[in-house]
Each structure stands twice: as C-alpha cells, then as structure tokens.
Structure 1
Amino acid sequence: MGTRVSYPVEVKLKAIEMRLAGVPVKEVLSQLNIRNHTQLKTWMTWYKNGEMHRFEQPVGKQYSYGKGPEFDSETSKLKAENRQLKQQIEILKKYKELERKWYQKL
C-alpha cells in the first residue's frame, strides 16, 4: 500500500487551471509532480460540483458538510491543537530514539 500525499491548495488549483486551459493530463502530472491521474480527476469533480472547501481538507479528513471539525469554544479548539502537537512531539521522540539505536548498531 502506498503512502498518502498531501498536495498544497495552490497545486490543486493550478492543476485544474491547466486542465481547463486544455493542457494534457500527462503534462499536468509531470509538471506539478502529481502521482496519479485519478487524483486530478477527483479534483476536477470537486471543482465542477462547486466543492471548493474540499481543497483545503487534510488527507483522509473529509468532514461532513466540508467545514471541518466543530468546536464548542476557542478553548476546546486550542486543546485539540495542543493534543495534536503533543502527539507529533512524541512521534519525533520515538523516531529520534530509533535513529540513535540504528547508529549504535553501525
């Protein structure tokens, strides 16, 4: 199974703009380093359906109505962000420990 790639909104919109201008799919993929033509097809579908909010959603997080997670207050939003940042730090610590062990074996 391949890894997921998150493309910036600018790349997505540029790809749509190029396709609307008549640029061939293969050329769009190569110029913008997009891995799969079905990804471009999905973006075009979103554009044609007026689902512009979907371009800013993170990979794998298609929230209902396209508005992202709802928070009761600013405090709960900050708590969620804090929790996410702590998880990222923990992952980096684990990676650093693994890296240290790999170098010790060499």
Structure 2
Amino acid sequence: MGKNVYSNEVKWAVVKDKMSGQFTNQEIMEKYGIKNVSQIKTWMKWYRENQVHRFDQPIGKQYSYGHGPDSSSDEE
C-alpha cells in the first residue's frame, strides 16, 4: 500500500463540497475515492487557516519554508 496522490482539482472540489454543507464526509470520501476522513479534515484545516499553498506541496513533503536548521539566525 502506497500513499494516495490527490490532484489540486480534487482537493478544491472536496473543500467546495464540504463548505456547501450538502455532503457528509462519507459521501465525499465515496465520491472522490478518499480513503480516510482525516484527509478531508486536513484540507479543510489548511483552507480555514489560509494555507491553500499547501495543496501544491509534493506527496510526503511537509511545507518547511522558513523552518528547519537552514533558517536559524542564531549562528555564532
């Protein structure tokens, strides 16, 4: 079993369907072939927190701009 890859179109369609209030999570999962409800919750969280740029991030990669050892300004 590998990780599933969902296109930006699917992610936006899921957010739109969820925001409409016309579909349950289960219906959305069946409609778009999403395996786990946590995926919907993650996309909705990104949408609510205005982090939609994360829809474009590659699979398995966390958005880390400005985070991590290279961004430290405490060098001596």
Q: TM-score range by the shorter chain?
A: 0.7 to 0.9
Normalising by the residue count of structure 2, what TM-score does the alignment of the two structures yield?
0.79
Which residue is equivalent to 1:39? Answer: 39
Shift of 1:60: 1.1
Normalising by the residue count of structure 1, what TM-score does the alignment of the two structures yield?
0.58
Residues paired across the two proteins, number: 65
From the two aligned structures, give the one with the greater helix fraction: 1
Shift of 1:63: 3.0
The structure whose Rg is larger is 1
User: What are the residue-to-residue correspondences of 1:1-106 with 2, within 5 Å?
Assistant: 2-22=1-21, 23-65=23-65
List gaps (5 residues or longer) in structure 1: 67-106
Shift of 1:65: 3.1
Identity %: 42
- Tell me: higher relative CO, structure 1 or 2? Use CA pairs within 8 A at least 6 residues apart: 2
List gaps (5 residues or longer) in structure 2: 67-76
Mapped to 2, the partners of 1:58 and 1:28 lie a distance apart of 23
